[in-house]
């Protein structure tokens, strides 16, 4: 049986999404090839080096030791697969969905697709991709028919890097198939990997589910971000209002302001949906456009607030030592893709700041940020004219920062009632 332990599973893309799926499939008894075009990444994984915090080196080592997990950059290793999962990037290219990674991965799979095989797309994308893009490539490349000779479906990933409570295993997984039989196969496969599956009617509903989740988050963050700017000008404490509103046991969900959105999801996924709406219906998805506008401008607002706070102290940004705390796009993760800190660094550098940054999670060698790295210790905090808290990593000692800094701009409300502190 193709979905039974011992059958061959290939996971295309060994990043934040693909690696956890691959390791879990190995742990549940499948023979797994973790395919990645990045040769260096495959070699590192085979050497037991995990660059993803959610997969510890010990867990990776245990998977390698079973002999049932191996990373490979060689497409020939895809041969003979029973189940294939596609988890490759879906970026935007000049505001337009770039599906070239999905296309390339699908072409590679089509050559090895056999009757009875199952292919699942997990990459986040606009509704229609599985049926309109993946299906024809697989059918033409294999000479087989989806829903008749092989199974095809979509299952969005909900991984939240760094979240210890909600993991790949205990987060319900939405599954879909082109036909009832496809859904049955795909549901059976994921039921072995996760505690609960949530079957939906077709791949389109599953594709929209993911975009709905991320657009919901994006829009609500934009709402509190815009409110934070107005509240600041009105002299109202937005954080106290948010805390108070969060006591309502129904009809309210807590979102907090910050220096902007980042990562692989929020700055990108809602635009996949608005692109599809524009392309198919000729309409504008106004909520997404507005949320993009507000969230994209948060780094400008942070810099403006810093300039104004320094001005109040008769200081200019030029030549001042500014210590940024946090480079990742969110708490307790090493992921700095699309992080709003990049824009803040660019602006402060162009203003002539003597800029340094600390982040215990983001490896200096792998970081995208062009800034001198320092530890977040008493000496660095005392030496700074201003400390800007951008990420609320648990590893930062915010009590020390509050006690030692001459001025703090706290964009995450990490310091409670400190003197010399301004909040977003
Ligand atoms: N990171 C998240 O938190 C998250 C959460 C949910 C969904 N997603 C979605 O999952 C997808 C993957 O995201 P990610 O964060 O894992 O990306 P990632 O960049 O961490 O990993 C993708 C991997 O795919 C590899 N790759 C690219 N093209 C390939 C090909 N043709 N064949 C084999 N390997 C290939 C890359 O080398 C890379 O290692 C995206 O669509 C993303 O939107 C991400």
Distance CA(90)–CA(141), nearest Å, equals 22
17 CA to centre of ligand 1 in angstroms: 6
Q: Which of 159, 155, 209 is nearest to 187 (CA)?
A: 155
In short, whether 12's Cβ falls inside 6 Å of ligand 1 is yes
16 CA to centre of ligand 1 in angstroms: 7
In short, whether 37's Cβ falls inside 6 Å of ligand 1 is yes
Ligand 1 binding pocket mutation candidate from 10, 11, 17, 109 (most atoms within 8 A of CB)? 17
In short, whether 91's Cβ falls inside 6 Å of ligand 1 is no
Exposure of 232 in the CB half-sphere (CA atoms within 13 A): 19
In short, whether 97's Cβ falls inside 6 Å of ligand 1 is no
In short, whether 204's Cβ falls inside 6 Å of ligand 1 is no
Ligand 1 binding pocket mutation candidate from 16, 91, 330 (most atoms within 8 A of CB)? 16
In short, whether 41's Cβ falls inside 6 Å of ligand 1 is yes
What is the structure's pLDDT at 265?
A: 83
What is the structure's pLDDT at 116?
A: 97
What is the structure's pLDDT at 52?
A: 85
264 CA to centre of ligand 1 in angstroms: 9
Q: What is the pLDDT along the chain (424 residues), one digit of tens a residue?
A: 556 776 999 999 999 999 999 999 999 999 999 999 999 999 999 999 998 888 999 999 999 999 999 999 999 999 999 999 999 999 999 889 999 999 999 999 999 999 999 999 999 999 999 999 999 999 999 999 999 999 999 999 998 877 889 999 999 999 999 999 999 999 999 999 999 999 999 999 999 999 999 999 999 999 999 999 999 889 999 999 999 999 999 999 999 999 999 887 888 888 999 999 999 999 999 999 999 999 999 999 999 999 999 999 999 999 999 999 999 999 998 888 889 999 999 999 999 999 999 999 998 887 878 899 999 999 999 999 999 999 999 999 999 999 999 999 999 999 987 789 999 8
Report the nearest-CA residue for atom 11 of ligand 1: 123
Question: Catalytic residue at 265?
Answer: yes
Shortest-distance atom of ligand 1 to CA 122: 10
12 CA to centre of ligand 1 in angstroms: 9
Query: Which residues are CB-neighbours of 358 under 8 A, at least 6 positions away?
Result: 323, 324, 325, 326, 373, 374, 375, 376, 380, 396
413 CA to centre of ligand 1 in angstroms: 32
In short, whether 161's Cβ falls inside 6 Å of ligand 1 is yes
Q: In degrees, to the nearest 5, what angle opens at C-alpha 198 toward C-alphas 192 and 200?
A: 125
> pTM value?
0.90
280 CA to centre of ligand 1 in angstroms: 26
* β-strand pairing of 96-97 with 92-93: antiparallel
Q: Which of 77, 130, 73 is nearest to 103 (CA)?
A: 130
What is the structure's pLDDT at 368?
A: 76
Edge to edge, the sheet with strand 408-410 lists: 372-373, 354-358, 321-325, 386-389, 408-410, 421-423
Exposure of 176 in the CB half-sphere (CA atoms within 13 A): 24
Expressed in angstroms, the distance from the first to the final Cα of the chain is 56
Report the nearest-CA residue for atom 37 of ligand 1: 38
pLDDT digits (tens, 9 = 90+) for 210-222: 999 999 999 999 9
The answer to whether 151 and 2 have CB atoms below 8 angstroms apart is no
In short, whether 54's Cβ falls inside 6 Å of ligand 1 is no
| Catalytic pick among 26, 182, 265, 376 | 265
Residue 346, both tokens: 């660019």
In short, whether 358's Cβ falls inside 6 Å of ligand 1 is no
* β-strand pairing of 83-86 with 69-72: unpaired
pLDDT digits (tens, 9 = 90+) for 332-363: 988 888 899 999 999 999 999 999 999 999 98
């Amino acid at each position: 049986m193709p979905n039974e332990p011992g059958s061959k599973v290939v996971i295309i893309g060994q990043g934040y999404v693909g690696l956890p799926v691959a390791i879990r499939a190995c742990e549940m008894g499948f023979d797994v090839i973790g395919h990645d075009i990045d040769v260096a990444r495959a070699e590192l994984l085979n050497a037991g080096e995990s660059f993803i915090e959610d997969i510890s080196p010990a867990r990776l080592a245990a998977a390698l030791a079973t002999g049932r997990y191996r990373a490979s950059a060689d497409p020939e290793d895809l041969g003979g697969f029973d189940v294939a999962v596609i988890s490759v990037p879906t970026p935007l290219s000049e505001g337009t969905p770039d599906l070239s990674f999905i296309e390339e991965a699908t072409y590679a799979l089509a050559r090895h697709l056999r009757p009875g095989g199952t292919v699942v797309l997990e990459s986040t994308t606009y509704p229609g991709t599985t049926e309109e893009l993946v299906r024809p490539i697989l059918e033409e490349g294999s000479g087989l028919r989806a829903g008749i000779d092989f199974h095809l479906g979509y299952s969005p990933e909900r991984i939240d890097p760094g979240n210890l409570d909600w993991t790949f295993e205990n987060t319900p997984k939405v599954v879909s198939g082109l036909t009832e039989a496809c859904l049955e196969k795909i549901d059976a496969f994921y039921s072995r990997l996760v505690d609960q599956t949530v079957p939906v009617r077709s791949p389109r509903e599953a594709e929209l589910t993911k975009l709905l989740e991320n657009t919901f988050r994006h829009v609500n963050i934009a709402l509190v971000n815009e409110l934070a700017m107005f509240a600041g000008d009105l002299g109202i404490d937005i954080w106290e209002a948010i805390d108070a509103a969060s006591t309502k046991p129904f009809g309210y969900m807590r979102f907090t302001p910050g220096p902007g959105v980042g990562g692989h999801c929020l700055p990108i996924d809602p635009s996949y949906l608005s692109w599809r709406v524009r392309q198919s219906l000729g309409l504008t998805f106004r909520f997404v456009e507005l949320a993009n506008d507000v969230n994209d401008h948060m780094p400008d607002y942070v810099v403006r607030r810093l300039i104004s706070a320094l001005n109040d102290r008769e200081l200019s940004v030029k030549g001042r030592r500014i210590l940024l705390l946090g480079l990742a796009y969110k708490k307790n993760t090493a992921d700095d893709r699309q992080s709003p800190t990049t824009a803040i660094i660019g602006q402060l550098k162009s203003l002539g700041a003597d800029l340094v940054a600390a982040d215990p999670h983001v490896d200096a060698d792998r970081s995208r940020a062009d800034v001198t790295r320092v530890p977040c210790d008493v000496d660095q905090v005392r030496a700074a004219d201003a400390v800007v808290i951008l990420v609320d990593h648990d590893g930062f000692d915010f009590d020390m920062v509050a006690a030692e800094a001459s001025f703090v701009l706290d964009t995450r409300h990490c310091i409670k009632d400190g003197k010399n502190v301004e909040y977003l």
